Structures are given as structure tokens and as C-alpha cells.
Chains A and B, each alone.
Chain A
Amino acid sequence: MTGRGVSIALSYVLVTSITVILVGGLIIAGGSFVEDQRDNVVEQELQVIGNQLAGNVEQVDRMVTADPTTTGPGAAAVNETLPERVSGASYTIKMTTDGGDSQLELTATQVDVSVEVALTVDTAVENSSATGGRVDAYYDQAEQELVIADG
């Protein structure tokens, strides 16, 4: 007999507790690791998408500034199909201007991640927004402003 002096019930409780602690720890650590990775990936993806869209807005701005007339071109638009979701989360894009500095603000809806991408444009920017998927960046000749909208 090697198990003398130890009750079966106590051993059971001890081993079960240790297993619960170990497995629970693994699950908590693994879960938060995956959660952190997801936040990082969402942030990176929003950065990439923001820069892609900023490139399109800046391209439209170049088309507008290439036109020396005061009203600008009759039509200048670039559209691109961006991912509809980032790591399973949908997102919104806002184009805003603040004291001469224009930027795109991308916010994921289900995770608390928001990214700002600066825009380098000479044309005025209209406060406008879009969601993931096909996004149009265009020049509104009547307002003489750059706009983004869902395509």
C-alpha cells in the first residue's frame, strides 16, 4: 500500500483543484492572448485599409489640383473594394477636417480599436463617412470638396 494515510476523497479534491487551476489558467491566458492578437490585427488592418483609402483620396486630390480652373474637374472619382470586415468585426470610416488637417478615422464596431490616418490634400474635405466594402472617393464640384461614400 503506497496511499496510506491519504483519503481518497482528499486526493480527488486536490488533483481536481490542481487540474482546474492549470486548465483554467491555460484557457484564460490563451483567451486573452488571442484577444490581444485580435486587437493588434484589427488595428493593423484598419491602418492598412486607412492608408489604401487615403491613397485614393489623395489621388482624387491630385486630379483636382491638376486642373487649373477654379471649379476643378467635372468628375474625379476613384473607388475600391475594401474588406467588409476586419477579423470578423465590421468598421466605419469617417473623413474629417480639423483646423486645416484632414484625416480618416476608422473604428471597428465590436472591438475597441480606432485608428487615425492623416491625409495630405490641397482640396477642402467634406465631413463624410462610409462603411467597409466598396468605398468611393470623389470630388464634389458643386461644393468643391473631397467626399467619401459607400459605393
Chain B
Amino acid sequence: MADLNPRGDERGQLVLVGAVVLAVTFIGLAIVVNSAIFSENLATRGDVPGSGEALDYRYEVEQGIGEIVETVNANESRDPTLIENSVENISAQGGLQQARSGRVVSISYVDDEDGNRLAQDTPDVLSANNTKTLATSVSKTRNVQLNFTRNITDGTGSFELIAQESSGSSFWNMTVDPSTSGDNTLRVELNNTAGVTRSGTCEFGSDTPSVDVTGATIDGERCQALVRNGTGEPLWFAADIQGSSDYEIRFENGDEFNGTYSMTMNEGISDFDPNALDNDDNVVYSVTVDLSYSTSAVRYETEIEVAPGEVPP
């Protein structure tokens, strides 16, 4: 075939131009692929450093201050400056520790709230009469503990712990049903002002159970009925009542059961069980602190009220 172009050195310009255009196009492709690799890299990154730790630190502070409340309550002198000093100590030590990880934290004491501890620390019959009102005009309760010291099947009927709304019809009811032929049952029922009824049950083997009502355990085993029902709605102590209105706490059929109990209420309750020997109206109910947590990417400032053993509001 004859040469298309008699001058051989000028052949193939079209192919050359096309190749150049294609080369440029594929350089663009390389940039796009590079960008894709970068987004893959971004996708593998976790949360912003320090963002999850802010809540971890909040939890640690709550635990630490909770220990302080318990310790101050256990100490007969109840020196009020103890709390403030302890909070400062936690702040200084925690601050130093967190600073090593590039976080600036500080905790400062704001306030503490006095409370009443209602208790029967020596095993005895839980109430002299069938019905015993422990306290009325209660707005907050924490750390409710019940320990049955005599075989619960020895009594007649069931034991009930009731939180009843003072000026309404809402009630929260925990029933301990002894059984002579199988596992005993703990039943929780709730009836709120909206007419909603919820319930849940736990079974347990022990005839002398220790029930941590607010901690939701029976002999250390988790009891879900003291937290939520099957559909996830609250069933904890005085749920739907605490936080919205005052209530009274009472035992029903307590004269058939022996044991010990203790609970802590905020100050201002009235008519609290005059017969219980171990009441103490000089305890700390809660401590409020200001928490500040910051890193280069996270800022968290909040006020925390620590009441160990209190159910959610």
C-alpha cells in the first residue's frame, strides 16, 4: 500500500493526540481512585478521640463521688467539709491523670442535699401491724434494701412494698410471693395516672432472699422485673411517680415476715416510721458537682447530682 503521507515523519498525529487525551483522562482517574482510597481510610477511623471518654469520665466521677457519699454517711462525725475536700482531691488526681492523655478535666463541688435514712438494721419482724407506713411526702428515694432473715414460707400470705402517689392514684407495688412447692416469685406492678398498667416477675430459689430493690438484684442475681418489663418500659422503684409527685412508702403484711431494711430519702419527708430504731435524719442524700472535660476536639460541661442507688428520674 502506498504511503498515506509521503513525509514519513508526520504519520500518526491523530493517534498521538488521542493517546495524550486518554492519558490525561486516566490521570484524572488516578486522582479519583486516590480520593477513594482516602475515603476508605476515613471510613476506618473511629470516633473523634476523647468523645467516648467524656462519658466514661462522667461515669467514673459519679462512682467516685458515690463512694464519698457512702463513706461520709458511714462516718459518725459527718464533717461537711469532708465532702468538699474529697471532691477537690478527686479533681486534682483525676486532672493530673487525664492531662497525661491530653485532656483537661476539673470537678468542683456545688452543693449537697441532706437526707433521712430509714432502717431496721437488726433482724426483727418487718412491721408490728399488718400495714406500716414508713414515710409520707417522699419525693426521692435511693438505695432501698430488704433482707428477709426468716424463711419467707413460714409467714402467711405475701409481703408487699408499695410506693403510692400522695395526691393521685398512681402506685408501684412489689410483691414477694413465697411458694412451698417450687421457686418463690417477686412480682412488680405499676399503675400510673394515665391508667397504664405494667408488670413483671422474677423467680428465685432462696427462702431468705436479700432484695436490692433499687439495684434490681435478688441475692446478687439480676431481677429484670425491677428494671423494665418485657417491652422495655420502666418498672423500677416508684417509676412514673418519683420526679413527678410526692408519694408514701409502706409495707403490707410486714408482720408475717422477719428481716432488715434500709432506704434513704431526701429531707422534708414527714411521718417517717417512728418505731424503727435505726433511723438517722442526718445523712447525705446526694452531692452535686460541676464537671468540665475538654480536649482539642471535645467539650463537655455539666452538673452532676450523685445519689448512689437512685433509680433513673
Contact = CB atoms under 8 A, between A and B. Distances in A.
A87 B305 CA distance: 49
A15 B45 contact: no
B191 to A, nearest CB: 24
A72 to B, nearest CB: 8
A16 B14 contact: yes
Interface in A70-125: 73-80, 82-83, 86-88
Interface string A27-65: 100110110011001001100110110011001001100
B312 interface: yes
B42 A52 contact: yes
B47 interface: yes
B298 A78 contact: yes
A66 B43 CA distance: 27
B25 A27 contact: yes
B195 interface: no
A46 B2 CA distance: 57
B36 A44 contact: yes
Q: Label chain A's interface by main secondary structure.
A: helix
Interface string B1-37: 1101100000000110110011001101101110110
Contacts of B17: 23
A79 B36 CA distance: 23
A45 B55 contact: no
Given A68-B312, A75-B301, A80-B297, A63 B55 contact: yes
A74 B304 CA distance: 11
B301 A27 contact: no
B168 to A, nearest CB: 21
A11 B4 contact: yes
B299 interface: yes
Contact of A41 (B5, B36, B305): B36
Given A2-B1, A83-B42, A77 B298 contact: yes
B51 interface: yes
B39 A41 contact: yes
Given A41-B36, A76-B300, A79-B297, A27 B1 contact: no
Interface in B51-84: 51-52, 54-55, 58
Interface residues of A, number: 51
B4 A87 contact: no
B47 A44 contact: no
B32 A41 contact: yes
Given A19-B14, A59-B51, A63-B55, A31 B297 contact: no
A91 B48 CA distance: 21
A16 B10 CA distance: 13
A67 interface: yes
B44 to A, nearest CB: 9
Nearest to A72: B302
23 contacts: A11-B4, A19-B14, A23-B15, A30-B22, A30-B26, A41-B36, A41-B39, A44-B36, A45-B42, A59-B47, A62-B55, A63-B55, A63-B300, A69-B303, A79-B297, A80-B48, A80-B297, A82-B42, A83-B38, A83-B39, A83-B42, A86-B35, A87-B31
Interface of B: 1-2, 4-5, 14-15, 17-18, 21-22, 25-26, 28-29, 31-33, 35-36, 38-40, 42-43, 45, 47-48, 51-52, 54-55, 58, 297-305, 312-313
Interface of A: 2-3, 6, 8, 11-12, 15-16, 19-20, 22-24, 26-27, 30-31, 33-34, 37-38, 41, 44-45, 48-49, 51-52, 55-56, 59, 62-63, 66-69, 73-80, 82-83, 86-88, 138
